[in-house]
Amino acid sequence: MTDAYPWLISLGAIASLLWLGFVEGGSTPKRPSLSANVRMDTGLVSLASGFVGARLGFVLPHLQYFSMHTNEIMKFWDGGLSWVGGGVGAILGLGIFALIKRHSFWQLFDILALPAVILAFSAWFGCLLDGCAYGKPADFGPLTPLSPDNLGEQLRRWPVQSCGAILSLGSWFVLNGLRYKNLSLGILGTLSLSMISGTNLILSFFRGDLVPILNGLRSDGIASAVLLGFGLIAFTLRFKKKDQLE
Q: What is the pLDDT of residue 12?
A: 95
> Does 35 map to a domain?
yes
Residue 47's nearest CA partner among 106, 89, 15, 18 is: 89
> Does 246 map to a domain?
no
> Which pTM was predicted?
0.90
> Does 108 map to a domain?
yes
pLDDT in tens, 69-123: 787 777 766 667 889 999 999 999 999 999 999 999 999 999 999 999 999 999 9
H/E segment holding residue 147: strand 146-148
> Does 87 map to a domain?
yes
> Does 160 map to a domain?
yes
Q: Pairing between strand 217-218 and 213-214? A: antiparallel
Buried b (16+ CB within 10 A) or exposed e, 53-90: bbbbbbbeeeeeebeeeeeeeeebeebbbbbbbbbbbb
* Number of folded domains that form the chain: 1
| Residue 27 lies in domain | 4-239
> Does 245 map to a domain?
no
- Name residues of the chain where pLDDT drops below 70: 1-2, 25-30, 76-79, 242-246
Q: What is the pLDDT of residue 245?
A: 44
